Structure 1
Amino acid sequence: MFGLPTATALIVGSIIGTGVFALPSVLAPYGPISLVAFVAVTVGALALALTFGRLSQRVRGSGGPYVYAREAFGEFAGFLNAWSYWITAWAGNAAIAVAWVGYVEVFVNTGHHKWISAAIALAGLWIPAVVNLAGLKSMGAFQIATTVLKFVPLILMATLGLLFLHPHNFGPFNASGTSPLGAVSAAAAIALFSYIGLETASVAAGRVRNPERNVPRATVYGTLACAAVYLLGTLAVFGAVPHAQLLTSTAPFTDAANAMAGGTWAGNLVAVAAIVSGIGALGGWTMICAEMPDAAARDGLFPQAFARRHRDVPVFGILSSTVLASAITIAAYSNFTHVFTAIVLLSVLTAAIPYLFSAAAQLYWLLTHRRELAPGRLARDLVVAGLALAFSYWSIQGSGYQTVYYGLFAVLLGVPVYIWLKQHRGEYGENALPGPVPLRPAGSDLPEQPAA
């Protein structure tokens, strides 16, 4: 079982992957206005973190957004959320792996030969899969070690880097050529990718000791720590690397460290931190790829293969998700920048849907049990959940029409799977379903009540 340090490490390790290391280059086409988007996304991410903390106190067990949607809105909503989040997890792993390669290639394959790059990315996907297959104890130690190793260098970059800011490096404030609001919305949709993972402790709540206490704390602490590193680190890179160079950089933090210290030694250290960071994030996300489908499969709302375990490890979930991530990673090497951004936006969209349903579930339960809560707490939780809901809608809108089109198509591909599951209720159905998960208002001492 995970304690508070390991649960927090899971949050930080899942949020800080290679996203923070690759994001300055991806945001560079928008200019420094993307820092405004980052602040807005940080506020929304904190609202989501607080919402997930409350939800984890209200509904016990693993599954996170899937469980919240199922208990509030029924089986079909639960299935769509599990399906959407599953896409987020393995597609996000592909994006992390592709960005991770840019830092590995600081040391090897400096000519960026396409198929060698692809092989490196596949190694980045399968090493964490092997660690997860080895068991839970290996996974917990792996998360703590990689989180510490990557977090210390990032803090140094995010603080000492502020001493090397040069205003002329920032370029035009709004380099996108679009309206300021449009630029902020588009940049925010990309920036949200860096915060995906703030819900991972709630997804794996069944593996956390004293989850009603530790999951909310780990979620908020981990998100706050990541927010500080993200905002300061991105600002440092924008101010240290000329805008024109940043547009084409595949390892922006390495370029920033070299510009600050001179030579290549500092950049090499940052590259090592990015490599460790990516492996740590992939380790956490590989587990999450299997945890939510496992929870849904145990309720008859995902193929039963996802619920089969060997020595308490969901082997099929880990292997299938890694195979899918490998396939999309290989496809990414036809056009790194375009495909990387497309994968990021797809991951954001398919994550924003479960986020939206989770915020909606919290609002539903707050209104349903409003008489059981103190007026002050009710008002505060309503504001936070409402902000999380609005932020989720904004993230979907900012993903762009093409991403929404393909993302909605990918989510709705789950409908035939749901029909197939409904036809096999004898195997996965009513007899396999547990009783309703007890709900209780966060912080209330009233008797538990079944879901409405």
Structure 2
Amino acid sequence: MSTDISGPAAATRPDPGAGAPKPSRFGLPTAIALVVGSVIGTGVFGLPAALAPFGPVSLVAFVLVTIGALALALAFGALSKRIAGSGGPYVYARDAFGEFAGFLNAWCYWITAWAGNAAIVVALVGYVEVFVNTEHKVGWSIVIALVGLWIPALVNLSGLRNMAVTQILFTVLKIVPLLFMATVGVFFVKSANFGAFNASGTSIWGAISAAAAIALFSYIGIETASVAAGRVRDPERNVGRATVLGTIGCAVIYILGTLTVFGTVPNAALRDTKAPFTDAANAIFGGQWAGQAIAIAAVVSGLGCLIGWTLIIGEMPMAAAKDNLFPKAFLRTRGDIPSFGIISSTVLASVLVVVSYTNFEQVFTTLVLLSVFTAVVPYLFSAAAQLFWLLVRGRKAEWPHLLRDGIISVLALVFSFWALAGSGYQAVYYGAVCLLLGVPLYIWLKAGRGEYGEAKS
């Protein structure tokens, strides 16, 4: 999605990092791997079981959600062509709506990244314990989780080249078995396993909406290439391509994979399982070896996801710190890697993991939901920024392009509101509290610059 014009904002906005050494960069394959690796973590391996109570109607919800995710991906692609540099939703909101909106987006997204990493690694532990600590002793579970958090941190701190190679390798290793299940598994589908088309006991639309509330969150991470745009070679071209191609790849795996599991595991059994892909693999190939192979793939998938998000938890606050909208400590680097952001955020994720394993499971669950809320807020602002730009600057474009881009932006905005509502009342309530907790930090930063009212030009 690209408009045929460029606004003054894109041309005149100063580069916060001007004069600094240029960061190491990676190409389109790594950018795609970053998107796919950040979107597909351990959650995909439990998704069919979560959707099973709704029946095959949830596949319709998945298609609708995919359309919204693609609209958002196209919006990110268009925004990245106009505004260069790392930061993604942060820089888009700041450019369109001012520094306070930019700060709130950076604050929200930073919370999403490290709290989400804690959630990913806790899910990862469950698959590791298929092979070790099978008795699920809490002390060893914490050790496994902390190792799972700090290995990706060390990979990123070792340099961008190592991160890029590892991310591509892990993405391939986790995509191959998922694609295998999503393609070969289709030939083993039996219609009797699907059960009732709408098994929810509610109306068709009610079932679609409820299933969408689960499926919506499976696409969080499609924006990661735009967040790390300053690391991508030829970002005006490659960020948009990586975002769209990565989203399409994830959609194929999600939809076909869920279809395969629905058709190979009886619906009644699928509702009670905690490892649906493992059960599907065992049903297709027989024995337990296939299920164990899927468990290995889940571990690899989780680590690959953590590697991508660990880069992001350093990039986003560093971009904001360059604009004096985050503490200057986030500018500290090791080489050109945002070391302070990575280390401090991994420490916070580690604390959250320990809390989750010490009789505060409900608190942890709430914080995970908050991470979803804080991801959707930057999505909404990004879609709004694109729509705002089209209304203000898009009048010079040819009307067919303007109409196309306007429809896509509205779809992305609707998708964001849908995701916001789907996160639940409790998550929205506490999410708003977390969002506003950033205000004192903003006051401190702005007061430290001796400013009142509008930012100095």
Which residue identity lines up with residue 319 of structure 2 in the other structure? A
Query: What's 1:198 paired with?
Result: 222
User: 2:290 aligned to 243, 266, 269, which one?
Assistant: 266
CA contact 1:186–1:400 (8 Å) conserved in 2: no
| Distance in 2 between residues matched to 1:390 and 1:104, nearest whole Å | 38
- Cα 1:250–1:114 change in 2 (3 A) is farther
- Is the counterpart of residue 48 in structure 1 residue 75 in structure 2? no
- CA apart distance, 1:187: 2.7
User: 1:112 aligned to 123, 136, 145, which one?
Assistant: 136
Query: What's 1:448 paired with?
Result: none
User: 1:373 aligned to 397, 417, 437, which one?
Assistant: 397
User: 1:99 aligned to 118, 123, 136, which one?
Assistant: 123
| Distance in 2 between residues matched to 1:265 and 1:207, nearest whole Å | 40
Q: How does 1:167-178 map to 2 (within 5 A)?
A: 167-178=191-202
- Is the counterpart of residue 348 in structure 1 residue 405 in structure 2? no
Q: How does 1:51-66 map to 2 (within 5 A)?
A: 51-66=75-90
Which residue identity lines up with residue 288 of structure 1 in the other structure? I
1:198 alignment partner, SS class: coil
Of 333-342 and 212-221, more deviation after overlay is shown by 333-342
Which residue identity lines up with residue 74 of structure 2 in the other structure? L
| Distance in 2 between residues matched to 1:200 and 1:86, nearest whole Å | 12
- Cα 1:344–1:32 change in 2 (3 A) is farther
Q: How does 1:194-343 map to 2 (within 5 A)?
A: 194-333=218-357, 342-343=366-367
Query: What's 1:14 paired with?
Result: 38
- CA apart distance, 1:111: 2.8
| Distance in 2 between residues matched to 1:417 and 1:306, nearest whole Å | 14
Which residue identity lines up with residue 400 of structure 2 in the other structure? G
Deviations 1:195-228 (A, max 9, x none): 1111111100001111001111111111111100
- Is the counterpart of residue 141 in structure 1 residue 165 in structure 2? yes
- CA apart distance, 1:318: 0.7
Query: What's 1:79 paired with?
Result: 103
2:324 alignment partner, SS class: coil
CA contact 1:98–1:121 (8 Å) conserved in 2: yes
Query: What's 2:155 paired with?
Result: 131
| Distance in 2 between residues matched to 1:314 and 1:399, nearest whole Å | 31
Of 48-57 and 16-25, more deviation after overlay is shown by 16-25
CA contact 2:217–2:419 (8 Å) conserved in 1: no
- CA apart distance, 1:230: 0.6
- CA apart distance, 1:37: 2.0
Which residue identity lines up with residue 189 of structure 1 in the other structure? A
- CA apart distance, 1:377: 1.0
CA contact 1:190–1:344 (8 Å) conserved in 2: no
CA contact 2:32–2:246 (8 Å) conserved in 1: yes
Query: What's 2:11 paired with?
Result: none
- CA apart distance, 1:358: 0.3
- Cα 1:415–1:364 change in 2 (3 A) is same
- CA apart distance, 1:330: 3.0
Deviations 1:36-70 (A, max 9, x none): 22111111110001000000001111100000000
| Distance in 2 between residues matched to 1:230 and 1:283, nearest whole Å | 21
2:233 alignment partner, SS class: coil
- CA apart distance, 1:35: 2.1
- CA apart distance, 1:72: 0.2
Q: How does 1:426-437 map to 2 (within 5 A)?
A: none
Of 140-149 and 86-95, more deviation after overlay is shown by 86-95
Query: What's 2:448 paired with?
Result: 424
Which residue identity lines up with residue 249 of structure 2 in the other structure? A
- CA apart distance, 1:249: 2.9
Query: What's 1:27 paired with?
Result: 51
Deviations 1:326-376 (A, max 9, x none): 222233346899677645532322111101100100011111112321211
| Distance in 2 between residues matched to 1:331 and 1:249, nearest whole Å | 26
- Is the counterpart of residue 39 in structure 1 residue 41 in structure 2? no
- Is the counterpart of residue 403 in structure 1 residue 404 in structure 2? no
1:209 alignment partner, SS class: coil
1:369 alignment partner, SS class: helix
| Distance in 2 between residues matched to 1:252 and 1:374, nearest whole Å | 49
* Count of residue pairs brought into register by the alignment: 432
Of 9-18 and 323-332, more deviation after overlay is shown by 323-332
Which residue identity lines up with residue 372 of structure 2 in the other structure? V
CA contact 1:348–1:399 (8 Å) conserved in 2: yes
2:85 alignment partner, SS class: coil
CA contact 2:127–2:295 (8 Å) conserved in 1: yes
| Distance in 1 between residues matched to 2:437 and 2:53, nearest whole Å | 33
| Distance in 2 between residues matched to 1:179 and 1:112, nearest whole Å | 40
- Is the counterpart of residue 386 in structure 1 residue 403 in structure 2? no
| Distance in 1 between residues matched to 2:98 and 2:154, nearest whole Å | 35
1:423 alignment partner, SS class: helix
- Cα 1:172–1:336 change in 2 (3 A) is farther
1:412 alignment partner, SS class: helix
Which residue identity lines up with residue 443 of structure 2 in the other structure? I
| Distance in 2 between residues matched to 1:315 and 1:200, nearest whole Å | 18
- Is the counterpart of residue 363 in structure 1 residue 364 in structure 2? no
CA contact 1:103–1:271 (8 Å) conserved in 2: yes
CA contact 1:49–1:198 (8 Å) conserved in 2: yes
Which residue identity lines up with residue 262 of structure 1 in the other structure? G
- Cα 1:126–1:186 change in 2 (3 A) is farther
| Distance in 2 between residues matched to 1:239 and 1:333, nearest whole Å | 35
| Distance in 2 between residues matched to 1:213 and 1:234, nearest whole Å | 32
- Cα 1:166–1:390 change in 2 (3 A) is same
Query: What's 1:184 paired with?
Result: 208
Query: What's 1:150 paired with?
Result: 174
Query: What's 2:91 paired with?
Result: 67
Query: What's 1:414 paired with?
Result: 438
2:107 alignment partner, SS class: helix
| Distance in 1 between residues matched to 2:352 and 2:193, nearest whole Å | 35
Which residue identity lines up with residue 236 of structure 1 in the other structure? T
- Cα 1:328–1:36 change in 2 (3 A) is farther
2:46 alignment partner, SS class: helix
| Distance in 1 between residues matched to 2:391 and 2:422, nearest whole Å | 29
